[in-house]
Structure 1
């Protein structure tokens, strides 16, 4: 067993005090607030998902103050779930925290035991092997079914890579992208007006997206973040188009594409000047 040396934390007492304060407030709200008293695990679920996306937005915006606020909202939800479970006699917040502590120690044998892991890939591989030994029947078992498809593709590929099922070089992955693009073009010829087999075209398009996600991973780009940044860029440019054309007395839906393109190009130029 390795000796783990932890850095001194002069603010630990303040952190524990703040967490204790949250637990106290949670108990008071659960016992006295009509809204909080009505909540269930199920009723909180969609709110937690919303809070998680709000945290994601604040991270992409690089707004540390908003990140702090959103982390607080999520922390409240975690404590709320534990409080509800404790009322059912299932578990409480200490069980939750001890469970994750035990899990982290078990899955970091290079820190808490004698396993050697000097790079990130070895750590990931060890993590997946330990999960299989713990009873998981599949490496992909931990990928939530309800994840958005793009995020799910990233997680599937990461987990497969953790046990060595992956391409060796990024050039191979790009060749796969080009192969899938050609197969998609064969199913959906943009120059032809003939009806296509939608099911086959959809399958080929899915293969193409999956291969692009794979390539993004090889060049260290998060495809979910990349797409969201493009979404935000489009929104800002489109809203500029709406605002500026309205100032000129024009109405969306009545403008020609050529007229709208003028404002679109202005929005792009403004961004490039920043």
Structure 2
């Protein structure tokens, strides 16, 4: 289905938000392996089902790395070594760009979250030296994707971003999540599955502790909350916010 590509529209009201969720929301089991095919970005141009994490798996990796103590950076191999370690957990890596930056060598040039993180270092707490490492890694990621390396994906979103709302999804705690595509061909919204994302971060921390030891200065869940707030403030400061939940077998909107 082609995504909505019209001009700017008014912010979504509550009734429209309810209708959007009713029409598009599904409760799905969280896949046993949360790999490059399942974790997408919160970008409002995405039409596919999946878990919305800012920046996709590459964004997830930067969240986790932001929690690593400075004294442990050499131990984990810098950002590149850390990302390569996490490739073993994820079964690869993913990021996204857009059709405007299709020919850019970076695999995340069209991602508003990643560009915000790499240019606003002090706010995100992500050093400029690591931003260059991310840029280099993203170029290598795109090369592997172009070569057809299994497990390495670059999602390309097309058209203009015209979000009308921000949807904060509180996922069920029974191994399921609420799938809500940000673009249904008629409307666009920002979607981030914060409940599922907190669970994914917890699992990733457990994996890292087992493989690299206790390298964290801050829990990545707290960093995630800070990063998502900064990105939404930058990309959607004038949009209404809705919370999507699950109660008694029904998807709810507040």
TM-score range, shorter chain: under 0.3
Return the structure number with greater helix share: 1
TM-score if structure 1 supplies the norm length?
A: 0.19
Return the structure number with greater strand share: 2
Query: Radius of gyration: which is bigger?
Result: 1
TM-score if structure 2 supplies the norm length?
A: 0.20
